[in-house]
Amino acid sequence: MTDNYTRFVSRGFGKDLAQRLGLPQPVILRRHRPDAPLVDGPVLVQGSTRGADELAAALLAWNLDVRRHAVPKEKLCAIILVLDELAHPDDLAEPVLTAAGSLRDLAPNARFISVSRTAASAADPAAAAARQGVDGLLRSLAKELRAGATANGVLLGDDAETTSPSTLGALGFFLSGRSAFVDGQFLTVSSGGGRLPDDAAKPLAGKTAVVTGAARGIGAAIARTLYRDGATLIVVDVPAAGDHLAEVANEVRGTALQLDITRPDAGQRIIDHAVERHHGLDIMVHNAGITRDKLLANMDPGRWNSVLAVNIAAQLRINEALLASAHFRGSPRIVSVASTSGIAGNRGQTNYAASKGGVTGMVRATVPLMAAHGGTVNAVAPGFIETDMTARIPFATREVARRLNSLQQGGRPGDVAEAIAFLASDAAGGISGEVLRVCGQNLVGA
């Protein structure tokens, strides 16, 4: 759905009027285009550690215009602040305040990315304090940036380095237009696993992917994005959506499977279809979901049970079938669609929030089960996304909801799809158990 306000205040008279009246000034975001460069200008890599030097060298190999020191008034497309050797909160001042001196030089739609280590892997309280401090400062900075700029972080686990494949994969995602609606978020690289694609334009080439709830909206966008990235698609939805599902299947040159995912044999039917038509399965995207909103005091068993059945119980059963199958092997990927409602809650959505919170718990507990097969499992949690469903929200409520994030606008189905495509790729092989929010950094909740 078109956000006419954002278009109006992004240029000319509308921009001037918004400035004079002190109105929100969202800008048109830089989103991924297959023919566009990763970034279109200088990238400043700040930090005095060996990890910073190695990362700068790796980015130079990508033919990026890398700077190691700021040039006054030079417009920057990105600042990467490497903080991989923090031992005490006192260590934050010099690198952070040095980076602060370049913030006014960030171009519109620029990226600020921190690279640091997880607090959980710290050897002592002082190191843990410094590392956790990065979390607070990065999320706060994300709320200060304007003109479509975002701030996100990469957290290095025990076995990960600044140049590990999945570290570079996460950096590439955050630098690119794929992360346009991801702001104030972290991705943890838990190991040195992962592999950068041979063909950056087709990172999912040779993979077969299933997308549930694919007949329209976010599900259809996921299917289109995975297809663009080279995957072979199996699109799944209920029989009642068969016509729309067939249209999506034809568009992505895949196969359609009409299926109620709450059926006890849904997982086996997906596997059988994948083996019969495509000789196996590599990526499972759990997108199907429903809402049946009601205040808890007025909640009835039908509303509660139907939401839990579709949104979490079906995923659990399908995953059990996949993990037991010999046809879901060789670095498989599971990506589930959660929701910011399952993180921060939402009035009238206790059933929905319980189901989406359940997705987060399922993902984290499935990590060792997937690791046994060399695979990963992650989730993406959308915030306010412009869909047919949000278009039915009353105008005033919709406008308020659009502005309640740091980017002051709603996201697009494609923004969710881009995050899922990255997590499904080999470049994310060292990332598992994460819940990546695609919400423009909601101003309420975590």
CB 221 within 8 A of CB 414: yes
> Of 112, 352, 384, 422, which residue is the catalytic one?
352
Residue 401 pLDDT exceeds 90: no
Is residue 445 scored above 50 in pLDDT?
Answer: no
Q: Rounded distance, CA 211 to CA 241, Å? A: 14
Q: How high is the pLDDT of residue 1?
A: 53
Confidence (pLDDT) at 170: 98
> Domains in the chain, start-ordered, CATH in brackets?
38-189 (3.40.50.720), 208-438 (3.40.50.720)
Kindly report, residue by residue over 337-346, the tens digit of the pLDDT.
999 999 988 8
pLDDT of residue 390: 75
- CA–CA separation, 167 and 175 (whole Å): 12
Q: Is the model's pLDDT at 443 over the cut of 70? A: no
User: Cβ distance 85 to 95 under 8 Å?
Assistant: no
Share of the chain above pLDDT 70, in %: 99
Q: In angstroms, rounded to a whole number, what is the distance separating the alpha carbons of residues 151 and 260?
A: 40
Mean pLDDT of 333-361: 94
Mean pLDDT within 382-386? 92
**Roughly how many angstroms between the first and final C-alpha of the chain, as a whole number?**
26
Which has the higher per-residue pLDDT, 330 or 211?
211
CA triple 274-279-285, angle to 5 deg: 40
Q: What pLDDT, on a 0 to 100 scale, did the predictor assign at position 191?
A: 78
- The per-residue pLDDT for 143 is 95
Tell me whether residue 352 is one of the annotated catalytic residues.
yes
The answer on pLDDT for 30 being more than 90 is yes
The model's pLDDT over 412-424, given as tens digits with 9 standing for 90+, comes to 999 999 999 999 9
